[in-house]
Structure formats: structure tokens, C-alpha cells
Structure 1
Amino acid sequence: MSGYNNILVGLDLSEESAQVLERAAQIAAYSNAKMSLAHIIEPLTFAYGGDVPMDLSEVQEQLQNQAKEQLRKAAADLNIPADRQHVVLGQPATEIHRLAEESGCDLIVIGSHGRHGLALLLGSTANGVLHGAGCDVLAVRVHAPSE
């Protein structure tokens, strides 16, 4: 089996993202693959059901700018160019699938927190990405820094 050529790494930009990046970078180095980074921001109107009686566009823009800066810093360490850094507004699993397809990715790497109980029943981003991807998906089990 040959290695991967084009890897999309979906990051939530939490402290645990470094673990996901490290694993993806190892695979990319082994396969001599290109890597792209993606962070998906759900619109604030999704979270509040559109029932908020104020304009959230400025807050949304600040969140996007902060995410772009965090992604830029993560990409700089791995020499990933700006055109392979994506901060997108939308539903995480759907947007990761779209980016992977548009970019011709053959592997998606995401973090998985391994939740149990109610969180597991309600589903997760990792589960959503896995069940609709047109390519391989690696869910990296991440651990909180204190573990």
C-alpha cells in the first residue's frame, strides 16, 4: 500500500490540537504528503437558534480572526502555506468533507476525545466526519494535558 499524498487536518484549536498535528505531521513526513489545516466555526446563530435580538456579525468576525491567527501559528511551525490554511464558517463535518473533496485529499486527520454516555449518544464531530468522508479518516485519541 502506498502512502498518502494529500492530508487534511481538522483542528478545534484547543490545547489538544498539538497532539493531532503531531500525528498528522508524522504521517505526512512518512508519506511525503502535502498537509492542509482546517478549523470550522459554527455560526453563532446556529448555537442560539437565530433567536438572539442583536447583531452577532462583529463577534463572529472576531472569532474568525482569532481562529485565523491561531491556525497561522500552527501552520508556521510546519511550513504550511497560507493557501492550505482554511477557517470556514459552517457545520464542521459537512465543511471538512467539502474541503477534503475540493482539495483531493486522501486522508482526513481529526481529534477524538472518546466521550462516553450522553455525549456519545448525541454524536460528535469526529463521528460526523467519519460517516460521510470519501477518503480515509484517522481519529487521533487526544488526552487533556493533565492526563
Structure 2
Amino acid sequence: MPPYQHLLAAIVFDDAGLAVLDRAHVLAQHFGARLSLLHVIEYTPIESGELLMTTPYDVTQQLEEEARGKLLALCRKQNLPEDCAHVSTGTVVTQIEQLVQKQGVDLVIVGHQPRKGLAAWLSHTEDNLVHRAPCDVLALRLR
């Protein structure tokens, strides 16, 4: 089996996301692979009385612009080309799946934080991704 050629790191803007980025960058260097970064802005339902609405377009666009700025700053810090940064809006697993298909990614790297109690019974992004991704998935254990 040939080494990985294109890695995708799913990034959140906190210490856990930075840990994922650091490890993904090391892995990309090890394999001599291309590294892409993805930050997904999840749809945020807004409750308005009895109606449930999605986030207005202008708010979503502003969130995407802010996220793109943060992601580009991370690219510069890691000496990665700016075209490796991707921001999308939707459900995390779906957006990862779409980028994997579009970009020919062969390894997705995500963070995993062990959960306890009731949270351990609920569905988790990394679990869903392992079952649905058309490529390998590496879930990094984060503390």
C-alpha cells in the first residue's frame, strides 16, 4: 500500500484544534503528503417562538469570513500554502465527505475527546466519520 498522498485535518479554533493541526502537519511531512485544513461552521438553528429557523445568510457569511481569516493565519504559521485552507457550512461529516471526494483525500485527521456519563451515549462526529468516510480516518486522542 503506498503512503498517504493527501491528508485532511478537520480543525476547530481551540487548543484541541491546534493539537490536531500540529500532529497532522508532522504526519504530512513524514509521508511527504499534501495537507489540507477544513473548518466547518455548523448550521445553528435559531428558535423564534414556535418556529425553528436556520442562521441568516449574512451571519453565516460573516462567520465564514472570520473562520477563513483564522485558518489562513494558521496556514501562514505552519508555512502551508493558502490554498490548503477550506471553510464550509453544514454538518461536519457531510462537509468532510464532500471535500474528501472533491480533493482526493486519502486520510482524514480529527480530534477525539473521550466522553463520560450521558455524553458517551450520544452520537459523535468522529464515530460517524469513521463509518461514512470513503478513506482512512485517524482520530487523535485529545485530553
Question: Across the two proteins, how many residue pairs are aligned to each other?
Answer: 141
**Aligned residue runs from structure 1 range 25-64, under 5 A:** 25-45=25-45, 48=47, 51-52=52-53, 56-64=56-64
Secondary structure of the structure 2 residue equivalent to 1:134: coil
Is the Cα–Cα contact under 8 Å of residues 108 and 135 in structure 1 kept in the other structure? yes
How many Å apart are 1:29 and its aligned residue?
0.7
How many Å apart are 1:127 and its aligned residue?
1.2
- Per-residue CA distance 1:16-70 (angstroms, 9 max, x = gap): 111101111111111000000001111223x649625x97333222221221111
Residue number in structure 1 paired with 2:116? 116
Distance 1:25 1:55 in 2: 33
Which runs of structure 1 show a deviation greater than 6 angstroms over 4 or more consecutive aligned residues? Answer: none
**Aligned residue runs from structure 1 range 93-112, under 5 A:** 93-112=93-112
TM-score (norm 1): 0.85
Identity among equivalent positions (%) equals: 33
**Aligned residue runs from structure 1 range 1-147, under 5 A:** 1-45=1-45, 48=47, 51-52=52-53, 56-143=56-143
Unaligned runs of 5+ residues in structure 1 are none
Secondary structure of the structure 2 residue equivalent to 1:37: strand
Secondary structure of the structure 1 residue equivalent to 2:37: strand
Greater relative contact order (CA < 8 Å, ≥ 6 in sequence): 1
How many Å apart are 1:89 and its aligned residue?
0.6
Secondary structure of the structure 2 residue equivalent to 1:75: helix
Secondary structure of the structure 1 residue equivalent to 2:132: coil
The alignment yields a C-alpha RMSD, in angstroms, of: 2.1
Distance 1:30 1:116 in 2: 34
What is the letter of the counterpart of residue 129 of structure 2?
Answer: V
Unaligned runs of 5+ residues in structure 2 are none
**Structure 1 residues 125 and 48: alpha-carbon distance in aligned structure 2, compared to 1, 3 A threshold:** farther
Distance 1:120 1:104 in 2: 32
Distance 1:140 1:16 in 2: 10
Is the Cα–Cα contact under 8 Å of residues 68 and 87 in structure 1 kept in the other structure? yes
